[in-house]
Structure 1
Amino acid sequence: MAGDQQFSVIREKVANLIPMKITKILITGCNLTSEDEVKDALGIHIGDSIFNFSVKDAQQRLDELPFVDHALLKRQLPNTITIHITERTPFAVWQHNGQFKLIDRQGNIVDDHGMSGKDGKAFLRLPLVVGYGANISAAELLDIISTQPDIKKHVVAAVRVGNRRWNLDLKNGTIVLLPENQELPAIQRLNRLQKDIQLLDRPIKVIDLRLADRLIIQEDKNYMNQSQTNDNTENKDDSNTPPTSTPQNN
């Protein structure tokens, strides 16, 4: 403790004698951790003296950030601070029994240092899997979805059904029913349908792919009813419009 205090005094004297200012803060390794979070934990800013802070204390604050396994912080004289972040690697967010947990590829829960799913921005960058057993089976399905970017961009969540098969919840509210143990051919089929007829952009409530030899689609009745109402309104307005005549040459 005495040694730390003595070094702090020496550091302050050096900072006063050699006023080198920080002009660069270089951060690498961040994926789930934002650079703003790193800079806040660092506690120094561009223009501060490069000597006027404790590397040990700053590194400890960085190590306490959610998702950070460890941080390596260095002064590079005369004006640069370098920080390399090594993160723990959560693979997905698992929702079960009303709680959100980070999981790795094996389905194990990853410590989030008390961060809540509601407040943690990093949660939004990970795929969401829902239901009992979803954590154990998620990696295989998410790997398949990742091979089909035209499908992946539509998916909000993968929901485990009866711990034996999956549904996909899409951004537009459509639910895709996948067959048991046949996710790859089903998603490849869905990708072809999207390319051919833009199926995922249509007002559809359910796309059932559980049978390989047929496609079952349930239309969105609310959309259809609203569309019909709009059509009727337009027809009514048209009926009140007086007819117009087109001049003809005699």
Structure 2
Amino acid sequence: MWDEERLPLSQLAIQGELRYVTPNDVQQQLATLDHIGTFMSQDVTELQKSAESLPWVAHASVRKQWPDTIKVFLVEHQPVAIWNGNGLLNLQGEVFQGDVSLLQQEVVKLYGPEASNQQVLTVYRELKPQFAQFGLVISSLLLNDRRAWQIILDNGIRLELGKESLQSRIARFFMLYQQLDQTVNRISYVDLRYDTGAAVGWYTEQELEQERQNDQSH
């Protein structure tokens, strides 16, 4: 039963709803193992650990099927955000190192100090529907090393929110945003790091014209 000439493991079956992992990825990963034994001698735990070391794989289940087949069922990470530029966050807010260039849909860009990924994702999920009520989309949310928050909207407006009173400062921005009405497309940034009021930075006509030319060229 341990004779590789008689009972080699020669077939590999890949299963699961896969968008980012290819059978070739799995085959190449398992090929890096020092040795794959016979149907009887091969430890499936070793194969499972190897498959789960692939960046996009959240979980792998491996079993043998008589007489010569390894069946690998894969569950992929579901990307919900780009983390610090080159990492990704899954639905649970865990960091994984999938290739950002492979993303098949737009996701928010989140930034923060080490181990702040869960916190930043939670805050984003709380804020997203609030901004959506005003037809606004958060493209980036940043928590800096001083624990101050910054938001960049998909229309280019940057919000400086500071460290405290996050919700009240965002509510103040919404009030201001509604009052500015037709001039919102000229806003560069809104600094809300005050007890009351806000400082608004405006694009110059020259900057707006450059922006329009860039949009047309794209």
Per the alignment, residue 148 of structure 1 pairs with: 130
The runs of 5 or more residues in structure 2 that have no matched partner are 28-38, 66-70, 211-218
Aligned positions of 1:1-250 closer than 5 A: 2-3=2-3, 5-8=5-8, 27-28=16-17, 34-41=18-25, 62-72=51-61, 83-85=73-75, 87=77, 93-94=83-84, 100-101=86-87, 110=95, 112=97, 119=101, 121=103, 125=107, 127-130=109-112, 138-148=120-130, 150=132, 154-161=137-144, 163-191=146-174, 202-222=185-205, 226=209
Per the alignment, residue 237 of structure 1 pairs with: none
Q: Greater share of helix residues, 1 or 2?
A: 1
The CA deviation string for residues 182-241 of structure 1, in whole angstroms up to 9 with x for no partner, is 1122234444655676689622111122235324322211457639xxxxxxxxxxxxxx
The CA deviation string for residues 102-129 of structure 1, in whole angstroms up to 9 with x for no partner, is 5799x9x8463xx565x46389645321
Deviation at 1:137, TM superposition (A): 5.4
Deviation at 1:178, TM superposition (A): 0.9
- The separation in 1 between residues aligned to 2:25 and 2:47, in whole angstroms, is 7
The runs of 5 or more residues in structure 1 that have no matched partner are 13-21, 29-33, 44-53, 228-250
Percent of aligned positions that are identical: 15
SS in 1 for 2:111: strand
Q: How many residues align?
A: 187
| Alignment TM-score, normalising by the size of structure 1 | 0.49
Q: What amino acid is aligned across from residue 165 of structure 2 in structure 1? A: Q
- In terms of Rg, which structure is larger? 1
SS in 2 for 1:217: strand
The CA deviation string for residues 12-40 of structure 1, in whole angstroms up to 9 with x for no partner, is 8xxxxxxxxx9xx8634xxxxx5252444
Q: What amino acid is aligned across from residue 148 of structure 1 in structure 2? A: Q
CA distance change for structure 1 residues 35 and 143 in 2, over 3 Å: closer, same or farther? closer
8 A Cα contact 1:129 1:160, kept in partner: yes
8 A Cα contact 1:177 1:209, kept in partner: yes
